[in-house]
Amino acid sequence: MGGSMTESVQNRVLKDYFQTTSAVGIAGESQDYKQSTAGLRRALGNWLDISGKDIVDLGSGTGELCWLVHNHGARKVVGVNLCQEEIDFASQHVPVKFVNQDIVSFLTQQPDKSCDRIFALNILEHLDKDQIVKILEESIRSLREGGQLVAMVPNATSPFGCMTRYWDITHKLAFTPSSVRQLMRLCGFARAEFRELGPRPHGIISAIRYLLWQACRAMIWFRLMIEAASGKGGIYTADMLFRLIKEDSKRQE
C-alpha cells in the first residue's frame, strides 16, 4: 500500500496537492495568469484595493492570488503553502516570497499588526473548527487596524452547496453567512461582508448568464421565504466570498 500507515489521508493529499488536484487545471509551464485570474479579479472587485499594502495569502496554491495582488501594486506579498510542488511551480511565474509551512504555525510566528490583508481562498474548508478559530484569532492579531481577512469557501446555503462541500476529499466544512458571523463575533472582528461568486457581465455571453442567474436566485429566495420566512442571507452561489474587518480605532474617535 502506498503512503505511511500512520499518516492521514488528509495530510497525504494536502502535501501532494499539486499531483492529486491542482495540476489538472494548469496549462503547463506557459500558464497564463492574466487569463486564469480574470474571474477572480472580477469577483473581488474593489476588495482588491491593496496598492501599497502588505499581503499574506494562506494556502497560496499555484500562485494565482499572489500574482494578482502583486500586479495590483501590493508592497509585500507572502504566499504560504504546505505543498512544495505547488510552491515550485508558482515560483517560476510569480516574483513574491513563498513559504512552505502549515498556515497555523506561520500565523502564530507573525508579529502583531504586521500585515494589512490576509487572503484565505479555498483553504478554510480543509480545516477543522478549532483550526479555523485559531487562524482567525491569529489573523486579527497579525492584522493592522482596519485590516481585513478575505476568504472564499463552500456555501451551504446554496442548493448545490453539498456538491461544493464534497467536491474535494479533503473538505471538512461548508459555511453560511450565519456561521461566518458567529466566527466574526467569537474572534473579535468588527464586521463581516459577503459576496456571491456568480457570473458578472463582461461580454454578451456573461451578460446572458448574469440575467439567468438573477432569475435562478430569485427562485431560491422565493423558496426560502415560503419555508423559512427568510432569505437566509441572500448569498446563494455554490461558493461565496466573505471578508472580516478589524476595527479601526481611529475611525471610532
The answer to whether 198 touches 158, Cβ cutoff 8 Å, is no
The 10s digit of each residue's pLDDT in 85-139 is 999 999 999 999 999 999 999 999 999 999 999 999 999 999 999 999 999 999 9
Element holding 47 (H helix, E strand): none
Cell triple for 125: 474548508
SS3 208: helix
Has residue 91 been placed in a domain? yes
Which residues does residue 194 pair with via DSSP β-bridges, in sequence order? 242
Has residue 3 been placed in a domain? no
Please, which contacts does 3-9 make with residues 24 or more away whose CB atoms are closer than 8 Å? 9/169
Has residue 24 been placed in a domain? yes
Q: List the CATH number of the domain containing 241.
A: 3.40.50.150
Note down the domain range covering 205: 199-234
Q: In this structure, are 243 and 214 located in the same domain? A: no
Q: Among all chains, which residue has been given the C-alpha cell 491593496?
A: 50
The answer to whether 99 touches 79, Cβ cutoff 8 Å, is yes
Q: Which CA distances in Å does 227 have to 162, 224, 230, 231?
A: 19, 5, 8, 10
Question: CA 205, CA 203: separation in Å to the nearest integer?
Answer: 6
Q: In this structure, are 44 and 139 located in the same domain? A: yes
The alpha carbon of residue 249 and the mean position of all alpha carbons in its chain are separated, in whole angstroms, by: 26
The 10s digit of each residue's pLDDT in 9-66 is 666 666 566 555 555 555 455 578 888 899 999 999 999 999 999 999 999 999 999 9
Of 37-51, 157-171, 214-228, which range is least confident? 157-171
In the chain, the number of structural domains is 2
The alpha carbon of residue 90 and the mean position of all alpha carbons in its chain are separated, in whole angstroms, by: 17
Instruction: Check residue 9 and give its pLDDT.
Output: 64
Question: CA 198, CA 23: separation in Å to the nearest integer?
Answer: 24
Q: In this structure, are 169 and 185 located in the same domain? A: yes
